[in-house]
Amino acid sequence: MELLERLAECIETGKADEATSFLPEQRGQKGASELTMEALDLGFSPGEILSEALIIGMNRIGDKFSSGKAFIPNLLISAKAMKAAMIHLEPFFKTGEAQYKGTFVLGTVQGDLHDIGKNIVKMVLQGSGWNVIDLGTSVSADKFIKAVEENDAKFMGMSALLTTTMLNMDKISSELKSRFGDLKVFLGGAPLSQQYCDKIGADGYFADPRSLVKYLETY
């Protein structure tokens, strides 16, 4: 089987490394960690590994969860496998630039614990020369306000993966924009859209971190 497909399968089945296995046929086989290193050694780019293996595996387990064929423990082990793979990609996204392009405050909105996508956004922004203040998950408006103030940030991004928690972006965005007139607020995450972004008066929705970075170059 092709390497990236094997890697996607490891994410889907939650096989983080050689030592972990939930399926008997996977015993003793390489997991997400080893296969990611192998893919890098073979010359696959970190971006390719992310979009053509890791995210595909995550989407598959998400679809199974939607149709009742997978459960919370499956999501958890897939997330663990994803993190085991991402550890190897992180150094490639780190920038060697001495001077930052600016400071970007980032967090997953209140009530939401999904952080895999947010962590990818962080890596890509850092790799493009941004100083990222990562507030973690379930971040309240007050926490965003404190971070923007303390770091004199002109840009911030919120992530949400639930249709319920994305609604918290409205209050957080309004509060921040009324306090900091020149702050640009960006949104991302699977349930978001430009339409919702316009509705709450935020400054832009981006489906992936690369398009956000491209947009930021215009400032």
Residues found near ligand B12 in the complex (CB under 6 A): 55, 58-59, 61-62, 65-66, 72, 75-76, 78-79, 111-118, 120-121, 157, 159, 161-163, 186-191, 206, 208-209, 212
Nearer of residues 27 and 100 to ligand B12, judged by Cβ: 100
Q: Shortest distance, CB of residue 138 to ligand B12, whole angstroms?
A: 7
> Please, is 69 exposed, middle or buried when counting C-beta atoms within 10 Å of its C-beta (0-12, 13-18, 19+)?
exposed
Under 8 Å between Cβ of 137 and 107: yes
Query: Which residue, 163 or 179, is less far from ligand B12 as judged by CB?
Result: 163
Strands 130-134 and 184-188: unpaired
Using CA atoms, how far apart are residues 2 and 54, in angstroms rounded to an integer? 14
> What minimum distance in Å lies between the beta carbon of 181 and ligand B12?
20
Which residues, 6+ apart, have CB-to-CB distance to 194 below 8 Å? 204, 205
Q: Shortest Cβ distance from residue 25 to ligand B12 (Å)?
A: 23
In the complex with ligand B12, which residue's Cβ is closer, 53 or 98?
53
Q: Report the nearest approach of ligand B12 to the CB of residue 203 (Å).
A: 11
Measured from the CB atom, is 94 or 214 closer to ligand B12?
A: 214
Q: Are 204 and 184 in contact (CB under 8 A)?
A: yes
Q: Quick check: helix, strand or coil at residue 8? A: helix
